Structure 1
Amino acid sequence: MPVATFLKRVLNRGSSDPEDAPAANNSQVMTPIAEEAEVAAEIRAAGPVVALDDANQSNIYEVPSDFTETSSMDSSGKMPIEEDFQRTSDSEGVGEKDAVQDETMLESQVEQAIQVADPPLPRNAGFIRSFSNVVCIIIGTGCLQIPYAFAKTGWIGILIVVMSGFIGGYTGILTIRCLYYQGPTGHRLHSFPQIGRAAFGRWGQYATQFFNYLYSLGTTCLYIILSGQFIFQLVSTLGVTLSQKVWMVIVAIIMWLPVAILKEMSEAAIMAIFGLLASIVVIIVATVMSIAKPYTVMYPDQPAPGHDIAIGVGVPVALSSIVFSFAGSVVYPHVEASMRKPKQWPMVIFAAMIFCAVCYLLIGVAGYWAYGDQVVSPVLDSIPTGAPATVAKIMITAHVIIAAPIMLLSFYLEIEKQWQITPQRLGKKREFTVRLIYRSVVVAIVCGVSLAIPYFSDFLSLISSIACVTMYAIIPVVCYLKLYGHRVAPWYEKIWMVFVLAVGSVACIWGSIDAIKNLIKDAQGAAAA
């Protein structure tokens, strides 16, 4: 099957998500047809029914193109997929019979919908804002690790970057499709933990929560470590005697301010756009300086650094770092929930992945070409000191300080939804107080962990291996197959899914072992000193 046909199929299937409003509120419950009379009586007794229209952001669910009527659910709420899907051969030798979409039935179900949950969230984010939110999270500190990853893999790292970007776009689409899995209640899921529960029950929820929260909080720790490190390097030349750990605490306090102010993902739009611009500046500076001042120019009396085509031993370890550079899965449900046109999500995620892949190839190729096996992580420590390096460090510091609240916001929104921390339940003043207190406690805990493990490179590898790879490549595919059934994908897509799972498993296991070994060495070295 040609790559173009495969991409077209993925994008078309991804666009089967509701076009405008369904993901925002999670407030409508699709009632079974068998209970129509009873529900109608309850609605009449309750009073006038709120009109379901675009302005009301109603939860009108479009039947996925892969499904038949939702009235065919069995007693457990699952779709009888084996009865609904029939594969047939087409002109290309592979095909499938399109599932029937009964528009009349869909309209009947929409008319039966009743509002039972919280008021709908605002859906006011356009393409650019959503694109900026995704890229701001993805492109962060990971770009500074790419040249070092190339030093571990050789030039084959170029292929790994391209492959990782494509995997990220594909699993990003699967993630959002899982949110629209129509279970017994028929409403949109909110987050990864809910996807895990819908697919594998309570233990699936617990496992997904573990990796989800580890990724969100662990990445924030990395941001604090990196910011404190760069600020310490910048101000130490000016005679400021504050230690790196003190600067890490100051950074955490600065990060706390937007955490206390921002409430929803759509409110972080300006921050995301500024963070995107800051990342672009950093990548341009690092790329230009690497080309202008390579290792042979900086150290003419030293042997030239080595370059390799492929280093097989380093591929699994470097793979986890490259995957981390494309990871942002935990924020996808919240970004999509704020989109004015959810149908544009496939375009948003693939545009973001392509943009990030191009940026990573620029900085990765330039950094590895200039410094070879002598490159360090972050790459800004390899380029010569001076005004450009200073500007880059200032910009990346600003970026991670901005990106951290967005990353934490995805964690906060899930907790607040689970604990029902809403103005409707607690009142505006009490809700603000409770939200402010628990968000502040989380920032304090994250800061404490950052102070205890100030080893950026190895800590990055550990987090990316355990949490990022799992959330990025494994959970979306496994949950998607569980929720929709194996018949939902043709044979060539199943092969791709197996490949994605294999890549994710190797990167997770091998990368974690290597990162733990390096962290132990770091701790032993610090204790000996």
Structure 2
Amino acid sequence: MPVTTLIRRVLNRSNTLADSEDAARAAPLNEGGPASPMPIAATTFNAVDHDAGMATTTRFISNFPDSNSIYEDPYLQGAGAAADGDFTDTSSSLGDIDGKMPIVEDEEKDAVEDLARLESQVAEQEQEIVQHGQPTRNAGFMRSFSSVVCIIIGTGCLQIPYAFAKSGWIGVAIVVLSAFIGGYTGVLTIKCLYYQAGQRLHSFPQIGRAAFGKYGQYATQFFNYLYSLGTTCLYIILAGQFIFQLLSTLGVGVTKKVWMILVTLIIWIPVALLKEMSEAAIMAIFGLLASVIVIAVATIMSIAQPYTKMHPTEPAPGTDIAIAIGIPVAMSSIVFSYSGSVVYPHVEASMKKPKQWPNVVYTAMGFCAVAYLLIGVSGYWAYGSDVVSPVLDSIPTGAPATIAKIMITLHVMIAAPIMLLTFFLEVELAWKINAERLGKKREFTVRLIYRSVVVGLVCAVALAIPYFSDFLGLISSIACVTMFAILPIVCYLKLYGHRIAPWYEKIWMAIVLIIGIVASIWGSVDSVKSLIRDVKGGAPS
């Protein structure tokens, strides 16, 4: 078979493939889910030129990162097609080919031009696929690590000494155990995204739907959105509180609620401008640096200025080995400090090398564990049962405390848009708010309006419940523990089956589930009681 005839056949096949992909984009990814393009096949074309005594092999591979399987084209399933997609002309013997006209230079030139045209078509198809709702995979290890740590380490680190005061020194074991749980469930979460060969789910709600149908999706959405929006409320409360404390000493007569509104306006700016998670990578790195400064200041000041040095005439507050009744509450607070499950699908979707995800999440958990042990041990040792949340209110006032509060305020203003972005990306994907469907101007307008409304509602809730410690405990108990320790394991077992895990891993799963359920129920009850006491006592100024 002449090479030119072969190439034209290949071009005809590529047009058929393009039509198949257009049809695939028009169909939903799964029931109730968004449309997902069919990945381009990785196919090898072998053209054998017996007269010239050579064989030419050209392999076209899709660079689309979410394509983890080869698309099986109907043409490859016919008789005589090689299993790996090779097209080799073996129908004629050497004797039959000897009598045919040899390939001339013009035909070879045509073949090269046809191959170049085919390669251009493949590139255009890949580019079209990337533009249909798929994030750009351009984040390296450090950027992905920074995004995870920026969300995880956040304001939760300021709660660790208080959690130790609730549970005693056994809190050290809880911090280490929670790090292992966080790394393990983080890996399971991403595995659930790829449970079906050739497809990738986009978010936790899609995992819930794939595992338990529409009711699983609704339940997952509830916990997912409660965590994203509730944590943003906490960020607004904490930032407003710190700004109020810093400026009230300078005679600025502005109430804390006014500062919370101003913080919300500052958070709204990047929320309106950012469109993808990869665009927030630089912000995440600055947020990580701010958190490191806060932890360093709190640790050093706790060691340099313990309670006995600040109040030399008073007895030092006591510490305990273990406080059984406070362990579930402490567990829920510490779990909140490791929570970032809602962000994981979006961070992994932006990675250049998604196979590095286990390394990213375990490294992030290890880094956070070291930071939490530093601030938790030093804070509990220095202030004992009298330590408060956030711990920066326990250390003496002065330049170090002021710097730490400024840094944590900056971190909050950086982390809040990233947290909200995970919520917005899922809503925009589900409701198909994109430029392809609405046009660039209309898409920007719709996105700006509904994002602004959501930010305003979050601010209203933060103004209505300005109790940082109790509200943090409630959100962490209800949403964070469920997303962190319960849903990833339950969905993984439902999607893959219990036989996928060896017996010792099943024991570990059972331990994690028991810890999560106990911490969630007990922590929620305790937090609700504390909130009721605070509301009856009157709202803070």
2:239 equivalent among 223, 227, 252: 227
> Equivalents in 2 of 1:317, 1:276: separation in Å?
27
Paired residues of 1:28 and 1:58 also in contact (CA < 8 A): no
Normalized against structure 2, the TM-score is what? 0.79
Per-residue CA distance 1:80-132 (angstroms, 9 max, x = gap) = xxxxxxxxxxxxxxxxxxxxxxxx97879xx9x99879164210000000000
Are 2:161 and 1:151 aligned? no
Tell me which amino acid in the other structure corresponds to 1:501: L
User: Following TM superposition, where does structure 1 have runs of at least 4 consecutive aligned residues deviating by more than 3 angstroms?
Assistant: 25-31, 104-108, 113-117
Tell me which amino acid in the other structure corresponds to 2:159: Q
Gaps of 5+ in 2: 1-33, 41-59, 74-81, 87-121
1:328 maps to which residue? 340
Residue aligned with 1:498, SS: helix
Instruction: Write out aligned runs for 1:25-424 (5 A).
Output: 27-29=36-38, 52-54=61-63, 57-62=64-69, 118=132, 120-182=134-196, 186-424=198-436
Paired residues of 2:65 and 2:137 also in contact (CA < 8 A): no
| TM superposition shift of 1:294 | 0.2
**Max Rg structure:** 2
Tell me which amino acid in the other structure corresponds to 1:168: G
Paired residues of 1:134 and 1:335 also in contact (CA < 8 A): yes
Tell me which amino acid in the other structure corresponds to 2:138: N
1:88 maps to which residue? none
Per-residue CA distance 1:395-423 (angstroms, 9 max, x = gap) = 00000110000000000000000000000
| TM superposition shift of 1:302 | 1.2
Distance 1:362 1:199, change over 3 A: same
2:496 equivalent among 478, 481, 484: 484
Tell me which amino acid in the other structure corresponds to 1:142: G
Gaps of 5+ in 1: 1-24, 32-50, 64-68, 72-103
Paired residues of 1:169 and 1:350 also in contact (CA < 8 A): yes
Paired residues of 1:131 and 1:348 also in contact (CA < 8 A): yes
Per-residue CA distance 1:174-202 (angstroms, 9 max, x = gap) = 0000000107xx41000000000000000
Residue aligned with 2:342, SS: helix
Paired residues of 2:151 and 2:415 also in contact (CA < 8 A): yes
Distance 1:485 1:313, change over 3 A: same
Tell me which amino acid in the other structure corresponds to 1:153: S
Per-residue CA distance 1:432-486 (angstroms, 9 max, x = gap) = 0000000000000000000000000000000000000000000000000000000
1:34 maps to which residue? none
Tell me which amino acid in the other structure corresponds to 1:338: S
Normalized against structure 1, the TM-score is what? 0.81
1:43 maps to which residue? none
Distance 1:105 1:314, change over 3 A: farther
> Equivalents in 1 of 2:69, 2:296: separation in Å?
43
2:458 equivalent among 428, 431, 446: 446
Per-residue CA distance 1:260-317 (angstroms, 9 max, x = gap) = 1100000001100000000000000000000000000001111111011111110001
Question: Aligned pair count?
Answer: 444
Distance 1:150 1:264, change over 3 A: same
Residue aligned with 1:330, SS: coil
> Equivalents in 2 of 1:232, 1:105: separation in Å?
69
> Equivalents in 1 of 2:427, 2:533: separation in Å?
36
| TM superposition shift of 1:27 | 3.8
Identical aligned residues as a percent: 72
2:11 maps to which residue? none
> Equivalents in 2 of 1:194, 1:509: separation in Å?
25
Tell me which amino acid in the other structure corresponds to 1:476: P
